[in-house]
Amino acid sequence: MAASLPLMAGTRLTAAQSSTSNPLLTKSNQLGWLDTAEPRARCGYTWGQPWPQGRLKTNDALHLVDQAGKYQPLQTWVMATWPDGSVKWTGHATAAGQALGQTFHIEKSELKGRAPKAKHSVTIGESGKKLLIDTGVIRCVVNTQGEVIIDEITRAKKTLLQNARFIGQRQNQAEADGEQPLQIEHFSAQIKQADIEQRGPLRAVVKLSGMHRTANGREWLPFSLRLYFHAGGDAVRISHSFIFDGDEQQDFIRALGLRFDVPQRDETYNRHVRFVGEGNGLWAESPQGITGLRRDPGKAVREAQINGVATPALNTWDKRVSERLQFIPVWNDYSLSQLNANGFSIKKRTKAGHAWIDVDQGKRAGGVAYVGGASGGVLFGMRDFWQLHPTQIDIRNAGTPTAQATMWIWSPDAPPMDLRFYHDGMGMDTYAKQIEGLEITYEDYEPGFGSPQGIARTTDMMLYALDATPSREQCIDLADSIRTPAQIIAAPQTYLDAGVFGGLWSLPDRSTPIKKIVEDRLDWSIDFYQKQIDQRHWYGFWNYGDVMHTYDTDRHVWRYDVGGFAWDNSELSPDLWLWYSFLRSGDARAFRIAEAMTRHTRDVDIYHLGRFAGLGTRHNVQHWGCSAKQLRISTAAYRRFHYFLTADERTGDVLWEVAEADKQLVNLLPTRKVNPEAAADKNTHIGIGTDWGSAAANWLTAWERTGDARYKTWLENAMRTIGGNDLGFFAKGYHFDINSKAMTVIPADPLESGRPKRVSHLNAVFGLIEICAELNQLIDVPEFKAAWLRYGRFYSAPAAQQAAEFGVSLTGNNLTNAHSRLTAYVAQQTGDTALAKRAWDEFFREANHVPEVKRVEGPLVLNPVDEAAWVSTNDSAQWGLAAIQNLALIGSSLAGSALKK
């Protein structure tokens, strides 16, 4: 395995060395912007704030202080608590339009007099089956039942948007095969439940849930969507999630999108259509253009139309134009389609029954458009528009009294969504054959297990109800807020001082030559993967957010088509590497990659209903393809970072879904193919690492969020069982009661005499190290901590030391580099400097590759790419986690000669 860099002087790194972070966030308790600059479009923000244990009580008052030292309105809620009941994480929201500056902070204090109030507040009224949401600027009527999501949005008593609803089409086969007719049917979302999750005063959240219904009454594709409102705002954010529950052999989604109507009051030549391209590129025209004509209406007229403002009175125009307006075509219909990550096209036509005219093309559209007039309209857009291709924006009837706009989550111009498994099984109808298949392609195949039934996907959209056509600059500012939403973050020192997520990491430190090598390599790794995502085009509706598992040095590609070597699906915890990298550095690159990964893995790699609900899928050519459906993929250990840092409710939903995912162990034993005795045992088995560690992360997260002592009891009882067992973490597993969560020791095999001859190299590389660090921090069970220290001391110990401890040396204990942080943990906890040196030796033991890249181009590859042939994401994840943890755990207190080379 090649996971780390050589210990040599003068190692050259070919990528950027410094992290991309906010240089102003240098002090604890500081807040600022992920992308360093305060955004120009102030749409209202939401974020999570950590607190050290004992610092904040649930009834303490918090106040937001801007850069100038002035108090600003703030909405606060508790997201998690410490074991003593004090607050661990708070969620916060601001009103739209608030200017905070480059840095600001939250303080616990009692203001003299009343806390400051926003100019506007958001309120929710209820009338029958409707919710009336008022931000002080717009008024939105939301339905709690039926097909229409939003009845209307008004501003200053003027209706700007009507009849927002989700629509789609399905067809019965991927393409016409000549044997049966191709059938296409329409469907629409039907609301069945509405929940008000926040009522304000600065932020309101409404959750709608239901099913999609076809014309013949079939209900399928369960959905949930949230509507977000900020006080003083003129926008509605919509977060839409759906679950595929169809038959992938005959249910092919042909189109899916959000459609709404926009009333038109202005003359056709005072109406406007805008499409945002790449960066600050903008395509802007009127449905009835008056520029470029044979006759000139006048400079003032032309400039007004170009700028999107009302033109001078018609009687002031050159009569050669004003008297011939009826002969100037009115373009009613427009489409922008993004069918892949590198190309979009715009077309338009005068009306149905007439030809489409090609307008222009580009690479990566912003996914933002405007339709309306000089007196107002709707600017709308989709986050990650080109990344989640195939997508599309349609505008219809722009020249009529009511225009219609559709944001297509899945473009009707693309081939239908095909979720069928990619091969026919190749005769692997027994466990023996499937194990043989695993030996050659690393794919754990089993008939019927490569099913997409239960996977999900989320799309975020924005609707701005504007009282005038936005200027070109305003279009770009709003587009930026949609395609790259601003995120408030805390200073790295704040996260570290709070002690959250175990608190066992360091801030970037280049004070010694070795530390500099490690820090530079960490930066290099993030930079390399950021480039690989783009160069290898790891985009698409079901793929965006994931990375590939292993590289093929012969073809100069990642092994996208070779069984378990393709999509990573959180294998060996790249999620943790990226999130911890962000926490310690504030690196925006790490955050953006980690967030996209979380948004993908929480939806696509986890089953949300059906046979495998609560479980995730091991790495494969298709994200749902592998037959290993396991807790180690669905674990909350990977997603809790995103939830607590951003207060994202969708991520919070998924954390609840997996809270008791361990109940699935009674239905599906992960080791059923290689351990038939355990599969035949009437007791449920739970593995000590990938199973129990994942369940423990789920229980811990639920305990933090609720304070429910039941979850603590499950954790504490399990910790006592593990600590009370002679083998502790070296045990192969435990019997497990899925209801009480009680764990009991499995009797030792007489042939092994209780000796842990073989251990699993996977036990500790799916979050167990991080979760055990938190458990030892939060719950005092001395025997558990002793068992964990014993595991860390002896997992990678010399064979003679293992034999002296257990009577036999261990096998299977590879991934030494990744486990070096376990050795470091023991060294840090016990003050053992010799063990600290051993940790560094283990860390660099596999250091035999230089992290330089070469450019591969010409006939060797389709497109030029940067290649580091030894890299695979599991290696980088191990290396990144090991580097971060070793720097933190060995640290300055144990920085002996090993750190001073």
β-pair type (357-362, 368-373): unpaired
Q: What is the pLDDT of residue 5?
A: 27
By DSSP bridging, strand 488-490 and strand 46-50 are unpaired
pLDDT digits (tens, 9 = 90+) for 745-761: 988 765 566 677 889 99
**Spatial CA neighbour of 457 closest among 413, 410, 416, 420:** 410
**What is the DSSP secondary structure assignment for residue 312, as one 8-state letter?**
P
What is the residue-wise DSSP string for 557-585? EE-TTSGGGSB-TTTT-HHHHHHHHHHHH
Token digits of residue 309: 């403002």
CA distances from 833 to 267, 889, 896 (A): 80, 12, 8
Q: Which amino acid is at 527?
A: D
- How far is 154 from 158, CA to CA, in rounded Å? 5
Q: What is the pLDDT of residue 847?
A: 58
Nearest to 89 by CA among 602, 512, 895, 705: 705
Pairwise CA distance, residues 205 & 377, whole Å? 24
Residue 165's pLDDT is what?
A: 98
**Phi first, then psi: what are they for 578, rounded to 5°?**
-70, -45
Q: Is 681 helix (H, G, I), strand (E, B) or coil?
A: coil
Would you state the torsion angle of the CA atoms of residues 709, 711, 713, 717, taken in this order, to the nearest 10 degrees? -170
The Cα–Cα gap between 474 and 494 comes to 34
Report DSSP letters for 841-874, one per residue: HHHHHTB------EEE-GGGSSS-EEE-TT--HH
As a whole number of angstroms, the distance between CA 574 and CA 572 comes to 6
pTM of the entire predicted model: 0.95
Evaluate whether 778 touches 749 at the Cβ level (below 8 Å). no
What residues in the chain have per-residue pLDDT under 70?
A: 1-20, 112-114, 749-754, 846-850, 869-870, 873-875, 890-901
Structure tokens at 783: 């025997």
Which residues are within 8 A (CB) of 404 and not within 5 positions of it... i.e. 6 or more apart? 259, 260, 261, 262, 394, 395, 396, 397
72: β partners:
64
CB-side exposure of 602: number of CA atoms within 13 Å? 29
